[in-house]
Structure 1
Amino acid sequence: MKRTSVVLAVLLLVLPGLAAAESGPNLELQGPMKQGSLVIGMAAPGARATLDGAALPVAESGLFAFGFDRDHGPAARLVLSYPDGTSIERRLEVAPREWAIQRIDGLPQKYVTPPPETLARIAKERKLKTAARAARIGDTWFAQPFIWPATGPITGVFGSQRIYNGEPRRPHYGVDVAAPTGTPIVAPQAGVVTLAEADMYFEGGLVFLDHGHGVTSVMMHMSRVDVEAGQRVEQGETIGAIGATGRATGPHLHWGMFWRGAQIDPQTLVGPMPDGQAVAAGGN
């Protein structure tokens, strides 16, 4: 069996919700074709790829990844070009999703409408995050199965429209897991830390963990950060602890993911919450 077939067969078994989107002699894609999803592809070695005209990194093996943002439109255009001059073009249909509305009250007003004296700090922290997002790690850990970085009741889901203290704000780009302060947070997959900050204004303790090709986990509101930028960590390794730092009303982990500028729903990459944890009402 060819390597492409082996890798994609494994992905079908270990990643929840995956279904074959396209297959052929020179291209296989796996992943839910819907808003907020990550898609993993295998092409013949030596291929080059673009999505909607933007170049994608492709590993020597032909493995690559791309994501659809929460608000992605109904279609995307994928093109692969091969050294022999042949090419493949696919129009990918991107299914829409319905998003919940989540109201969160009791936040300190400074986190809803930051006072002028904090704007310089917020701008500085934004530059840190932008620089970390630009990092590119060539490994392909993203193609392996993910695990939950912490367990507990799910108190917030990806894509919901957030209303803080009665004021509409940007959507929630992650899944919230409630647990006591100090509960360990582990790496959901191997990766390289591209940002590690203990006291960000909105996020509190914050870690970016790049799983390769820009597929990055975001851990927020941490009471303790145990890693530093540039460090490689393995799946299951402790990277910090749950807290209620930054814009939070109680101790919980916010686990977000992004690929380049696209926000990805982490729950599309893991199975159900272990230990029978139920989805709780409300949010953090």
Structure 2
Amino acid sequence: MKRLTIIFCILLQWTVASAADEPSAGYSLDGKLVQGGMVVGRAQPGSKVTQDGQAVRISKDGVFLLGFTRDAPETSALEIRSADGTVIKETLQVARRDYKIQRIDGLPKRKVTPRSEADLKRIRDDVVAVKRARTRDDDRQDFLGGFQWPLEGPITGVYGSQRVLNGEPRRPHFGVDVAAPVGTPVRAPAPGIVTLAVPDMFFSGGTMIIDHGHKLTSSFLHLHKLHAKVGDRVEQGQVVAEVGATGRVTGAHLDWRMNLRDRRIDPELLVPPMPNLSAK
């Protein structure tokens, strides 16, 4: 009986997934329905899309993006209203993830618990600049070609891990860290437009943000040198910066983060597995 139940559940999941992929269903989704994930959706041109009541940009040819936060609930409400008045309402099942605890010691106390008014002002100014850089919202679809790793190297930090800095619990980590020597080239993971290029922010040091369209952005932190400026159009694989050890770090690495609208997503879910460097 238990075996029959398992088979039925598998068939049910396959049926739901297949219906979403069929054009007759009115839409399709491509990606991982998981905490930290992002999916590319397609619906009839002229449709209006919302996710959990939030309006989602949809391109002229019907492309849209859905994202799920680190602690997204197990369901997400998708609504698509087509130009002919048809309404599709779906409850998407979002898979849960288990997150690691990462302990980092040896950080300068000033970078863990800033107290001076000068430091606090810098932090406030940095937050404003980053928010402004993420306000761009246009119909470019630079994300459709997929993403590649900005550089190759050992992964030393992962998305969602609970950070304990100098023994003090802090906010989770929202990026993926790749260790590499200072000066290692950092390449654009996908085409886009640079919306932030600052050589020295308080926590993140040299920082760059690239907008890929539909308010999907890549952020690169702790950079040594920046090779692109605000307003530049960059292509996938183009060198845009160099790995550094700036800001709040204990060693040289790249911290790559991604945001979709106000949702922090996991870059590692959008790229192939990191190549086995020892095999090269």
What TM-score, normalized by structure 1, do the two folds share?
0.89
Matches within 5 A, 1:225-244: 225-244=226-245
The residue correspondences of 1:90-105 to structure 2 (distance < 5 A) are 90-105=90-105
Using the alignment, how far apart are the partners of 1:264 and 1:156 within structure 2? 15
Following the alignment from structure 2 to structure 1, what is the Cα–Cα distance between the partners of residues 138 and 179?
A: 30
CA distance in 2, matches of 1:167, 1:261: 26
Structure 1 CA distance for aligned equivalents of residues 55 and 187 of structure 2: 32
The 2-side partners of 1:113 and 1:267 are apart by: 29
Unaligned runs of 5+ in 2: 1-16
Partner in structure 2 of residue 267 of structure 1:
268
| Rounded Cα–Cα distance in structure 1 between residues aligned with 2:191 and 2:126 | 25
CA RMSD of aligned residues (A): 1.4
Q: Is the 2:153–2:277 contact (alpha carbons within 8 Å) kept by the matching residues of 1?
A: no
CA deviations 1:12-68 (Å, max 9, x no partner) are xxxxxxx86823321001111110001110111111101111111001110110210
Which runs of structure 2 are paired with 1:60-79 in the superposition (5 Å)? Answer: 60-79=60-79
- 1:159-238 map, 5 Å: 159-238=160-239
Which residue does the alignment assign to 2:21? 23
- Offset at 1:214? 1.0
Which shows bigger deviation, 268-277 or 256-265? 268-277
Aligned to 1:111: 111
TM-score (norm 2): 0.90
Is the Cα–Cα contact under 8 Å of residues 256 and 266 in structure 1 kept in the other structure? yes
The residue type equivalent to 2:78 in the other structure is L
**Any unmatched runs of 5+ in structure 1?**
1-18, 279-284
Distance 1:140 1:104, change over 3 A: same
Amino acid paired to 2:196:
L
- Deviations along 1:138-191, one digit per CA (max 9) or x if unpaired, are 211112221100111110111000000000111010110001000000000001
How far apart, CA to CA, are the structure 2 residues paired with 1:65 and 1:35?
A: 15
Go from structure 1 to structure 2 and tell me whether the alpha carbon gap of 1:123 and 1:222 turns closer, same or farther (over 3 Å shift): same
Residues 239-254 of structure 1: pairs in structure 2 closer than 5 A: 239-254=240-255
| Structure 1 residue 88 corresponds to structure 2 residue 79 | no
Please state whether the residue corresponding to 1:182 is helix, strand or coil: coil
User: Partner of 1:22: helix, strand, or coil?
Assistant: helix
Which residue does 1:38 correspond to in 2? Answer: 38
Task: Give the CA deviation at 1:116.
Answer: 2.2
Partner SS state of residue 124, structure 2: helix
Tell me which structure has the larger Cα radius of gyration: 2
Structure number with the higher helix fraction is 2
Cα distance in 2 between the residues matched to 1:277 and 1:66: 36
**SS in structure 1 opposite 2:20?**
strand
Q: Give the C-alpha shift of residue 275 in structure 1.
A: 4.1
Aligned mates of 1:112, 1:21 — CA distance in 2: 49
Give 2:52's aligned residue. 52
The residue type equivalent to 1:221 in the other structure is H
The answer on whether the counterparts of 1:137 and 1:211 sit within 8 Å (CA) in structure 2 is no
Q: Match of 2:20, as an amino acid? A: E
SS at match of 2:268: helix
Taking a change above 3 Å as real, the CA distance of residues 274 and 142 of structure 1, as seen in their structure-2 partners, is same
**Alpha-carbon distance between aligned partners in 2 of 1:69 and 1:136, rounded to the nearest angstrom:** 20
CA–CA separation in structure 2 for the residues paired with 1:69 and 1:202: 22
Deviation (angstroms), 1:115: 2.0
Partners of 1:157 and 1:174 within 8 A in 2: yes
Q: Structure 1 stretches (4+) deviating beyond 3 angstroms?
A: 275-278
The 1-side partners of 2:237 and 2:125 are apart by 31
Distance 1:56 1:98, change over 3 A: same
SS of residue matched to 1:135:
coil
Query: What is the deviation of 1:132?
Result: 1.1
